[in-house]
Structure 1
Amino acid sequence: MKVDFVWAPYEKDLDDLVVSYKKKNKFPDVVIMGSGLWHMLHVNNASDFGFQLKELRSHVELLVPVRTKGEEGGGGSVSGRSMHMFWIGMPVLINGMLNTDEKKERMSDTVWHEYDRSLGESKILRQMGGPLVLLDVQSFTWNCGPQCTLDGMHYDSAVYDAAVHVMLNALLIESHQTL
């Protein structure tokens, strides 16, 4: 097994990465990507975030066939590459614990919700008709709570371990559906 970590903090970076797979005609079996917090802190424009996600979705859809409703239940198979793509959702931010005034201002609950709404409207997630399966870090961090973070945005490894377990289960389920 080979695992590559690629630092791609902005949606445009993720888009460039996806386009590079297509150009090289070399595709990983599994891609886990996510963005939002970096954009929120350094760009702070939820509309731009949403626009960039729509661009990313259009390129991802060229790599991964989008399943139809009938296929999601295991009733059909998808031809082509066996590539599985996941989106790491944004964690719950605990504003009072954020360690700078800039983070507290730019990463407020209101701004977080604008970014979350832009994510949904981008239709990049499978439950919205897109190609990527959501790893719902928001739910994990909400359930874990403030005792699982020292700075209100980075959480203990248990949260990320849970996301990995969900992803591995999804891979197992999908592999059985396409047999």
Structure 2
Amino acid sequence: MSKSDASDLLNGSWVVVAGDSQARFFTLSLLNLILGPQAKRMGSVRADLFKRHSDYSILVHEIGMKLDFVWAPYVVNLTNSMMGFKTKKSYPDVMVMGAGLWHMLYVNNASNYDFALRMLKSSVVSLLPLTASASIKSPHLFWLGMPMLINGMLNTQEKREKMSDRIWHAYDRALGDSRLLRQTGGPLVLLDIQSMTWNCGPRCTSDGMHYDLVIYEAAVQVMLNALLIESHQSL
């Protein structure tokens, strides 16, 4: 989808992207498409967006699109964001969220992750009927999946121990068991970073965790095409 197509689709929208560093790269890729990678603003966007552990907001005046990035490295942070929307009765048009890598490294308990995902699902489901009853269109919700981790390329011994293939798969199973995703009967559409990173492999990453922008650009295209399909279905 071209810059023009994406701009038409997101015209006047409020977009929220919440999560960890993967979500930052997704946000950068979306703004690269909307503004153009050579736009003068992109230099300051990159500098401000990648300030450690911080939120970021931008208004793209040309199309009236507001974009908020919310630093939310744990699923509980995502749940709190959802409850904040509910409290304020103000909901984004599009929300992309995803978290798991920090939990894997610092909590390292797939059962706890499963519980956190189930709590997030409950908060999302409780929000959706409210938007309908208030005659507000329900937001389009996406889950930014975790990337494939290349254990031998991870840059610390702690990461190599706590983010092993076995633990990664346990976390992936927890996501499926939580029924958060549309494919398991839940409310969120999966942006399948796992498949994209698997197909691109070691040549697309320098640290086994963060991938080249081509991965996140592909995820942006998947999201935009899903939005296009849903907009046509609602006509």
- Residue 174 of structure 2 aligns with an amino acid whose one-letter code is S
The unaligned stretches of length 5 or more in structure 1 are: 66-78
Using the TM superposition, give the Cα deviation of residue 80 of structure 1 relative to its aligned residue in structure 2, in angstroms: 5.0
Residues 40-119 of structure 1 mapped to structure 2, 5 A cutoff: 40-64=104-128, 80-119=136-175
Alignment deviations for residues 18-60 of structure 1 (CA, whole Å, 9 cap, x no partner): 0000000000000000011110011100000000000000010
**Partner-residue secondary structure (3-state), 2:70:** coil
Q: Which amino acid aligns with 2:162?
A: R
Instruction: Name the structure where strand makes up a greater proportion of residues.
Output: 2
In structure 1, the residue corresponding to 2:183 is in which secondary structure? helix
1:152 and 2:208 aligned? yes
1:20 paired residue among 84, 98, 113: 84
CA distance in 2, matches of 1:32, 1:59: 15
* Aligned residues between the structures: 166
Where does residue 33 of structure 1 map in the other structure? 97
Alpha-carbon distance between aligned partners in 1 of 2:215 and 2:88, rounded to the nearest angstrom: 34
- Stretches of structure 2 that go unaligned for 5 or more consecutive residues are 1-64, 130-134
Q: Distance in 2 between matches of 1:64 and 1:114?
A: 29
Which protein has greater RCO, CA pairs closer than 8 Å, 6+ apart?
A: 1
TM score, norm. by length of structure 1? 0.91
Q: Write the distance in 2 (CA, Å) between the matches of 1:24 and 1:61.
A: 16
In the TM superposition, residue 167 of structure 1 has moved relative to its aligned partner by 0.1
| TM-score normalised to structure 2 length | 0.69
Provide the identity percentage.
Answer: 66
State the alpha-carbon separation in 1 of the partners of residues 128 and 225 from structure 2.
19
* RMSD, aligned α-carbons: 1.0
